[in-house]
Amino acid sequence: MSAANPKVELQKQRLRFVLNRIEAARVARGGEAPVELIAVSKTKSADDILPLIEAGQRVFGENRVQEAAGKWPALKAAHEGLELHLIGPLQTNKVGQALALFDVIQTLDRPRLAGALMAARDNGVTLPPLFVQVNIGAEAQKAGVMPDEADGFIEQCLNEWELPVVGLMCIPPADEVPGPFFDKLAALAAAHGLAQLSMGMSGDFEVAIAEGASHVRVGSALFGARG
């Protein structure tokens, strides 16, 4: 646990490098809007995550409810101010568990899930901030509401169901230039008065910031490549 712990020193260096790149992109974009770094710790053990917490990182993302349930309750109990985002698909039968574990849910993408969240709210649960995930490249294998259904779904979430949607999230197609997809997500968010945009990963977060990202989700640039 000392300052000389080499794992903590390595994580401090990687964290500083990523934060410097984020800040440079944010300054280049102009304006005052901040950019939040979400450290994506999927597949990483609590032992791997701890040095990054000790390096000062507080906001993390996980893509599986079950995996997160195995490591985050203890980490949260031991460290003040941790904020956990769900960035992977949420099944309706896991909504209760997800609401107990996550501070933000970024993957609201269908009416059935909206219904499960409303049912939890009816039972007295305070819902966390939500992002609507948009399948911005309309890819068959990917989660998210399809672009041509996004306007209607977002509108319903906000005005009919009064869900606490604060922004939009996307994962653009892996094999295409990401900028136009980020731009499209930003336009969709602006059309609905949503200020938050979760977009950009290790390979493209600077592009995402240029297009208006408020949250970037970075895994491998912080933890090294996943095995």
Ligand X SMILES: *Cc1c(COP(=O)(O)O)cnc(C)c1O
Contacting positions for ligand X (CB under 6 A): 40, 42, 63, 87-88, 171, 201-203, 217-221
Residue given tokens 């032992």 in the structure block? 47
In DSSP notation, 25-45 reads: HHHHH-SS---EEEEE-TT--
Task: Pick the closest to residue 38 from 112, 109, 106 (CA basis).
Answer: 106
Indicate the residue among 165 and 169 with the shorter CB distance to ligand X: 169
| CB 90, min distance to ligand X, A | 12
Indicate the residue among 94 and 121 with the shorter CB distance to ligand X: 94
Residue 64, both tokens = 């599986």
Residue 147 to residue 129: CA distance in whole angstroms:
22
Indicate the residue among 68 and 119 with the shorter CB distance to ligand X: 68
Indicate the residue among 5 and 202 with the shorter CB distance to ligand X: 202
Q: In this chain, which residue has its C-beta nearest to ligand X?
A: 219
| CB 163, min distance to ligand X, A | 20
| CB 61, min distance to ligand X, A | 7
Instruction: Please report which residue ranges of the chain form alpha helices under DSSP H.
Output: 6-29, 46-54, 65-78, 95-101, 111-122, 147-155, 179-191, 205-210, 220-223
| CB 63, min distance to ligand X, A | 4
